Structure 1
Amino acid sequence: MAEYISKHEPIEEIQRIYCTGCNSYNGAMCRSCEHQDDMYIIEDTKAADVQPVKHGRWITWDDSGFTKCSCCNSEYYISDLQVVGDSEGFVGFCPNCGARMDGEAQC
């Protein structure tokens, strides 16, 4: 699985550790020390197109045969979301908004 980081964190860490005495750090690049190339490489790296993972849960009410996503409120027939062998019995994500259905409703 790919891992993603913020570009700014490693640059700030390089600046904090190595650029303490040069006083030429301008917020993105160090202009005078030997770590300038490291910061250019990080800044020039193309950013991945990612979005934060949403966490939700399936909300089931009465015996109507419906359930809905706690994040986007999209409703589905329970039979359309059931997965044989799954511990919870439903798919692990919302087909509409992509929220991971791990029981941590954070939406």
Structure 2
Amino acid sequence: MSRYIDADNLINELSAACMPIYEKGITGILGDNSSIADIINEQPTADVQEVKRGTWENTNTPNQLRCNNCEIIHFIAQYPHGEINYCPNCGTRMDGVANG
């Protein structure tokens, strides 16, 4: 499973842990017994969730739309303030771009 971390935070921690060395093209080395892998593994992971994207599909019945992700049919009259931007059943974002 993928781990998502804050890249800016990682860069700051690596920069702080490195000693400058300007010989032979080397720009930095860790100043203690830590390895770069240790610093990466110590980074807190972000709580992220994949964004599901989809579209509303027309059905043969007026005032109904079907989510192309979960196939649940929704009645347009349930949403009097206009088009809803996500599927209330599965959470798919309805922005006109299907995953794939």
Q: TM-score scaled by structure 2?
A: 0.58
Where structure 2 has 5 or more consecutive residues not aligned to the other structure, the ranges are 19-24
CA distance in 2, matches of 1:79, 1:43: 50
Identity rate of aligned residues, in percent?
A: 30
Structure 1 residue aligned with 2:85: 92
CA distance in 2, matches of 1:61, 1:82: 19
More strand by share: 2
Report the alpha carbon displacement of residue 38 of structure 1 after superposing the two structures with TM: 6.4
Whichever residue aligns with residue 56 of structure 1, its letter is G
Asked whether the equivalents of residues 54 and 97 of structure 2 are also in contact (C-alpha less than 8 Å), the reply is yes
Instruction: Give the superposed CA RMSD.
Output: 3.9
Report Cα offsets for 1:46-99 as digits up to 9, x if no partner: 32332210111111223432111111111111111342xxxxx31111111111
Q: How many residues are paired up?
A: 86
Report the alpha carbon displacement of residue 45 of structure 1 after superposing the two structures with TM: 2.9
Asked whether the equivalents of residues 82 and 91 of structure 1 are also in contact (C-alpha less than 8 Å), the reply is no
- Would the alpha carbon gap of residues 71 and 82 (structure 1) be closer, same or farther in structure 2, given more than 3 Å must change? farther
Where structure 1 has 5 or more consecutive residues not aligned to the other structure, the ranges are 22-31, 84-88
Task: Report SS of the residue matched to 1:67.
Answer: strand
Return the match for 1:75 from 73, 76, 81. 73
CA distance in 2, matches of 1:76, 1:101: 13
Whichever residue aligns with residue 48 of structure 1, its letter is A
Report Cα offsets for 1:12-55 as digits up to 9, x if no partner: xx7xxx8x97xxxxxxxxxx733847654442233233221011
Whichever residue aligns with residue 75 of structure 2, its letter is Y
